[in-house]
Amino acid sequence: MLPKWFNDWNRDRPADIYGPAILVGVAGAAIIVAAALVSLGQPAPTKAMQTGPAGTGMSQVEFVGEVTDVDPTLANYYTEAPYEVTGDEPLARDIYENVQVLGGLTEDNFNRVMLGITQWVAPEQGCAYCHGNGGLETYAEDNLYTKVVSRRMIEMTQNINEAWIGHVQSNAEVGVNCYTCHRGQNVPSDIWFRITPLGDTMEGWGAVQNRVTMQSQYTSLPSDALETYLLEDQPIGVHDFQSHVDSDPTDPNTATWQDAERTYSLMNYVSNSLGVNCTFCHNTRAFNDGGQVTPQWATDSLGIAMVKEINLDYLVPLKDVYPESRLGPVHGDAPKAACRTCHKGYQQPMQGLNAIADWPELATTGDPVYE
d(CA 214, CA 272) in angstroms, rounded, equals: 11
Residue 114 annotated as binding? yes
Closest alpha carbon to 62 in 77, 46, 82 = 46
Torsion (CA) 123, 127, 130, 135 in degrees, nearest 10: -150
Residue 239 annotated as binding? no
DSSP codes, 148-182: HHHHHHHHHHHHHHHH-HHHHTSSSS----HHHHH
Residue 130 annotated as binding? yes
d(CA 196, CA 224) in angstroms, rounded, equals: 6
Residue 58 annotated as binding? no
Residue 214 annotated as binding? no
Beta bridge partners of 62: 47
Residue 339 annotated as binding? yes
Cβ neighbours, 10 Å, residue 41: 9
Residue 156 annotated as binding? no
Residue 182 annotated as binding? yes
d(CA 152, CA 159) in angstroms, rounded, equals: 11
d(CA 225, CA 258) in angstroms, rounded, equals: 11
In the annotated binding site for heme, the residues are 114, 127, 130-131, 153, 167, 178, 181-182, 267, 278, 281-282, 339, 342-343
In the annotated binding site, the residues are 114, 127, 130-131, 153, 167, 178, 181-182, 267, 278, 281-282, 339, 342-343
